[in-house]
Amino acid sequence: VEVFICTSPLIGNYRYCVREKYEWVENHFGSDWSSKIIMTTDKTVINGHLLIDDRPHIRGAMKHPSWKHILFSACHNNKMTFPESKRQLENWLNGEWRGLISEFKKKHQIE
């Protein structure tokens, strides 16, 4: 299983946003992760199994992306209600995301 960080730059703020996203990743995950960043304005065109994202509704060119959306809890979405079937991730830094990947691999019999 390969893990990448797929992120969207703020429209109109590319000058600082891209650098700040790389710095955040390096500070929290280490410099090895900077080569695993995919910067895109449309996450629906990225092929994968899971997408963990703080945006409750991800829209783009693909109506049915290849990935399953897992919502990352953030201050701008924590008052919203979602169906119980919508998986959520509460924390990046405690390794909870690794458990989600392991669970997905087991469920779908992926080595």
Give tens-digit pLDDT for 59-91: 999 999 999 988 887 777 777 777 665 677 777
If you count DSSP H runs as helices and E runs as strands, how many of each does the chain have, helices first? 2, 5
Query: In which residue ranges of the chain is CATH 3.40.50.1000 found?
Result: 47-111
| 9, 34, 98, 43 alpha-carbon torsion, rounded to 10° | 30
Q: Up-side HSE of residue 2: CA atoms within 13 Å toward CB?
A: 8
Q: CA quadruple 76, 79, 83, 88: dihedral positive or negative?
A: positive
Give the Cα separation of 27 and 57 in Å (integer): 28
What are 54's two structure tokens? 């703080």
Q: What is the pTM of this model?
A: 0.78
CATH superfamily of 47-111: HAD superfamily/HAD-like (3.40.50.1000)
Question: Which residue has better confidence, 110 or 23?
Answer: 23
